[in-house]
Amino acid sequence: MLFVDRESAGDQLADAVLKLGLRDPVILGLPRGGVPVAARVARALGAPLDVIVVRKLGVPVQPELGFGAIGEGGVRILNEDVVRMAQVGQRQQAAVEEAERSVLERRLAQYRGHRSRVPVEGRTAVVVDDGVATGSTAAAACRVARAQGAARVVLAVPLAPADSVAWLRQEADDVVCLASPGDFGSVGRWYQDFSQTSDEEVGALLAEAAHDPTGPGSRTPDPEGTAGTDPEVVVRAAGVELSGDLSLPHDAPAIVAFAHGSGSSRHSPRNRAVAEDLQRAGLGTLLFDLLTPGEDNDRERVFDIPLLAGRLTGAIRWLRTEYGLPVCCFGASTGAAAALTTAAEPEADIAAVVSRGGRPDLAASWLADVRAPTLLIVGGRDTLVLELNYQAAALMACEHRVEVVPGATHLFEEPGALEQVSSLAADWFTGHLPSRAA
């Protein structure tokens, strides 16, 4: 036997995945047996855990032969060679997909309940299973994760046949496999305890991770040795409870509260990348959800700047009460409008504001009252937003500056662009802290 059970396999797998030094990973377990393994990996990395459900689209007259696969969010992947060979018409494709989509949605609802999918857009998706035999399901999961917007896909499994590993390296950017026995046979023969994982257990593991993704004894990677605590916190603001992630390096002079843009959350890969850079500069950071689960699908609330600003104001008040440090604000898109509206409040006492690709025009009525030093960072190729920022700057009476990142578009996806944002933000924040925090 190679492994006692899935949990012990997960612990061993976590050690191997940790060595990759992944940035901003999301751990995706394949149900059912892959989720207990993935839970241990997520716990070790201090990363969010989610499930990735894929359904094979089988040729009607030969269901074991897959002509494609589907995932949530409308993701659909076709093998055109099989479609042509098996002569699967569009009506047949649609009928098979409809049946499998129904099963997929039912299982997702059972596993997640009312929780939303953990975003993988722009992040590293680590697809985890308890083992691989043929590799077809794992390959489909890797494709689905990439189709959902993952910037990098890593497949991590305790064991798999050598030929399957070689094939899967074509599907994933990295493959972590602890063992490839020559006489493979089946996955279960290499476990002392390979008892079936129930749907209820999958749901319980996901619910537990959503409540506390790091958990006691977790090992959050910190290669620079600069990060302090990084717990999930509950921010009580404006009468609601909002989920957040707080990082507070030792002797941090201030905390930067992040306000994300429309359609995003505290898991925004760009904001998290900036937050990590600010932490290395010695600043504390709070990334939190401005909307509660369910509200984030309400377009009116997503663009309700006074509502968002009220919650940001409450979060800032909470930070001061809990930690007694100066607070700065970093806003993106509509979040920048919320930050500037908050900074216009007479008792806001915000040390400094930085906007990344922001929409300050949505806070036009409040701009003249902003007193916090404000840096507006815009991509040079984001021409419409750049003009809106120049117009907004003309309305501001406080210390302010428009900083253009040459060649960058709205999301600052170009090489080095986001790093420039981080550098500009760190300099602006540290240069405008009150003397008592210097």
pLDDT digits (tens, 9 = 90+) for 56-112: 888 888 887 778 888 887 778 787 888 888 898 989 988 988 888 888 888 888 888
pLDDT at 270 over 80: yes
Same structural domain, 157 and 275: no
CATH number at residue 271: 3.40.50.1820
Question: How do residues 411-438 score in pLDDT, each as one tens digit?
Answer: 888 888 999 999 999 999 999 998 644 3
Residue 225 lies in a domain: no
In a domain, 216, yes or no: no
Give the three-class secondary structure for 151. Answer: coil
Dihedral sign for Cα 60, 66, 72, 75, please. Answer: negative
The pLDDT of residue 298: 61
The predicted pLDDT at position 380 comes to 94
Last residue of a domain, one of 182, 211, 240: 211
Same-domain status, 40 and 169: yes
Q: Is the pLDDT of residue 11 over 90?
A: yes
285 and 433, same domain (yes or no): yes
Same domain for 138 and 57: yes
The answer to the question of residue 433 being in a domain is yes
Which pLDDT score, from 0 to 100, does residue 213 have? 46
In the chain, what are the helix, strand and coil shares in percent, each to the nearest 5? 40, 20, 40
Q: Which DSSP symbol is given to 148?
A: T
Q: Tell me: do 275 and 413 sit in the same domain.
A: yes
- Quote the CA–CA distance of 377 and 370 in Å, as a whole number: 17
Please indicate, yes or no, whether residues 151 and 270 belong to a single structural domain of this protein.
no
For the chain, how many structural domains are there in total?
A: 2
Question: What's the pLDDT at 294?
Answer: 67
219 in a domain, yes or no? no
Average pLDDT over residues 324-349: 92
Any domain includes 372 = yes
139 and 247 both lie in a single domain = no
Q: What is the pTM of this model?
A: 0.51
CATH code, domain carrying 199: 3.40.50.2020
pLDDT at 235: 85
Where is average pLDDT lowest: 83-87, 213-217, 236-240, 285-289?
Answer: 213-217
Residue 310 to residue 252: CA distance in whole angstroms: 26
Contact, 330 vs 421, CB < 8 A? no
Domain boundary among 211, 240, 274: 211
**Burial of 236 by CB count in 10 Å (0-12 exposed, 13-18 middle, 19+ buried)?**
middle
Same domain, yes or no: 199 and 290: no
207: alpha, beta or left, given left = phi > 0 and alpha = psi -120 to 50? alpha
Q: How many angstroms separate the CA atoms of 106 and 111, rounded?
A: 9
Query: In degrees, to the nearest 5, what angle opens at C-alpha 65 toward C-alphas 151 and 56?
Result: 40
CA–CA separation, 157 and 179 (whole Å): 9
Cβ pair 288, 255 in contact under 8 A = no
Q: Which residue has the tokens 């089988």?
A: 58
Torsion of CA 127, 131, 137, 139, to 10 degrees: 60
- Which domain covers residue 331, as residue numbers? 232-437
E strand residue ranges, 281-371: 284-288, 327-332, 353-356
Same domain (yes/no): 102, 196: yes
- Who wins on pLDDT, 282 or 71? 282
Residue 260, in any domain of the structure = yes
